[in-house]
Homo-oligomer: A and B are copies of this chain.
Amino acid sequence: MANKAITSRDVDFGQWYTDVVKAAHLADYSNVKGCTVFEPNGYAIWEKMQQILDKMFKDTGHKNVYMPVLIPESLMKKEGELINGFAPEVAWVTIGGQKELDEKMCIRPTSETLFSDYYASKVKSYRDLPLKYNQWCNVMRWEKETRPFLRSREFLWQEGHTVHSTSAEAEKETRDMLELYKKFFEDYLAIPAITGKKTEKEKFAGAEYTLTIESLMYNGVALQSGTTHYFGQKFSKAYDIKFLNKDNELEYAYQTSWGLTTRMIGALIMVHSDDDGLVLPPNIAPNQVVIIPIGSSDEVNSLSKDICDKLKTENISVYIDDTDRSPGFKFAESEVNGIPVRIEVGARDLDKGIITIARRDTKEKIEVKKDIDIVKFVKDLMNTIQKDMYDKAKARRDRMTYEAHTLKDVEDIMNKEPGFIKAMWCGDEECELKMKEIRGTKSRCILENAKPIDDKCVVCGKEAKDLVVWGIQY
Contacts and interface: CB of A to CB of B under 8 A. Distances in A.
A132 B33 CA distance: 25
Nearest to A156: B66
A97 B142 contact: yes
Contacts of A69: 35, 69, 107, 138, 140, 154
A30 B117 CA distance: 8
A96 interface: yes
Given A37-B65, A37-B68, A95-B92, A107 B107 contact: yes
Contacts of A153: 70, 96
Interface stretch (A40-48, A270-278, A378-386, A454-462): A40-48
Contacts of A98: 87-88
Nearest to A93: B91
A473 to B, nearest CB: 20
A93 B92 contact: yes
A64 interface: yes
A89 B93 contact: no
A104 B114 contact: no
A321 to B, nearest CB: 15
Contact of A114 (B30, B93, B107, B140): B30
What copy number does this chain have within its complex?
A: 2
Contact of A91 (B31, B33, B38, B96): B96
A129 interface: no
A84 interface: no
A431 to B, nearest CB: 30
Contact of A30 (B36, B44, B68, B107): B68
Contacts of A117: 30-31
A32 B72 CA distance: 7
A55 to B, nearest CB: 12
Contacts of A118: 28, 30, 37
B94 A94 contact: yes
Contacts of A65: 37-40, 43
A64 B47 contact: yes
B32 A114 contact: yes
A89 B97 CA distance: 4
A258 interface: no
Interface string A62-76: 011111111110010
A144 B97 CA distance: 9
Nearest to A104: B95
Contacts of A157: none
Contacts of A140: 69-70
27 contacts: A28-B118, A30-B114, A30-B118, A32-B72, A33-B72, A35-B69, A37-B65, A37-B66, A37-B118, A38-B65, A38-B67, A40-B64, A40-B65, A40-B133, A43-B63, A44-B63, A70-B140, A70-B154, A87-B98, A88-B97, A91-B95, A91-B96, A91-B97, A93-B93, A95-B104, A96-B142, A97-B144
